[in-house]
Structure 1
Amino acid sequence: MAPKINLYMTPGSCSLASHIALHESGLDFTITDLKAKTGFPPEHLHLNPKGRVPILDLDGELITETHAILTVISALVPSKNLLGSSAIEHARAHEWLAWLSGTLHGNAFACLFRPKRFIGDEKLYDAVRARGREWVKECFEFIEGKLEGGRVHAVGEAFTVVDGFLLVFYRWGNRTQFGMRENYPNYARLVDGVIKRGAVMKTIEIEGIDALND
């Protein structure tokens, strides 16, 4: 029996990666927009007491954290190789996902978007944001270096959920004026390929967002 799947998401947020992965999987699923762009709605904290999207309801089991959600989606359709096609590629995919979730998203962009998570004194928010911009830049430079040599995928020679997750941060980079195409051409090459995929185009259309946010 096919699993019953619902993704709780917010357009353009980090949940975009999970939404893309579900379309890539070919599984039947529904979505619920929690409209959490300006803050997680308190009335939905029963879904995730951490107050964040995405949340995946898989046959009544609520799964949180992008890394975990992308992993379980990939496990549901092993023939799609959404985490790569070998043990080494699986390891590289998890390496990417852990770093993107924990460092680029959870620390660098969090400093930029949500400085109050790091310090209580509002007078220091600008300093935290400034450090966040430096950190994001360092992360983008790291990604740019990993994609040298004409690479069009982060892992192996085919699309994985890592590529969809990288699109999230490229869009955020454009939103925050990092000059993504000019400063990170290798990264731009990867996302140019990602946004041409049918599953990605469908996701972008459903969420009602600009593909690259530029």
Structure 2
Amino acid sequence: MMTWNTFTLQDSNSPLMEQLSYFHDHTMMILTIITILISYLILSIMMNQLSHRYLLEGQTIEIIWTILPSIILIFIAIPSLRLIYILDEINNPMISIKTTGHQWYWSYEYSDFKNIEFDSYMLPQNENISQFRLLDVDNRITVPFKSNIRMMVTAADVIHSWTIPSIGVKIDALPGRLNQINFFINQPGLFFGQCSEICGANHSFMPIVLESISPNFFLKWIINFS
């Protein structure tokens, strides 16, 4: 069944994604106003053969269409720069997870705990009983919600990209380099993503599944895993 989420951004599940959605709506409003205004001017010129004579040598209109785009760019640039700084902000993480991209699966290591590491492979279609084709995995990342999570991402072979759209996270996994990103999940649930960098023949078959649970259940999960 097709829903509005098919055509728009996914629902925000983190403060970062909320800010990205607000910026998207802000920019789209400005672009819509510009499109309507320009379309009106073009149609008015096409329908009125005499209107173009005022545009031959007009210093006033030259000033207007130089200053007006500059003001519009300021209204777009200031929120954009603010958002860039928010995305780069590093808070004190409660949990650190190291993610390594392979051809073609992900491996995870909980750096704050001993002996908690596992590989995450996509479930074969004949074993996948959920409704999410090519998205579910055998071992999900489990994190507590309403906690600062630090994800350190690298790759073992080629360039990958660890991406979960609903929480606004997309970070490249580069061989020999350790990138990091922070995120904060608002609520419990399952969040799906995929590798966003073409990394070989099975690029489409290395999904990401993050499960957000309450801190109490997370402690029980840690104890049971150990």
Same fold (TM over 0.5): no
**TM-score, length-scaled by structure 1:** 0.26
Which entry has the higher C-alpha Rg, 1 or 2?
Answer: 2
**TM-score, length-scaled by structure 2:** 0.25
Structure with the bigger percentage of helix: 1
Structure with the bigger percentage of strand: 2
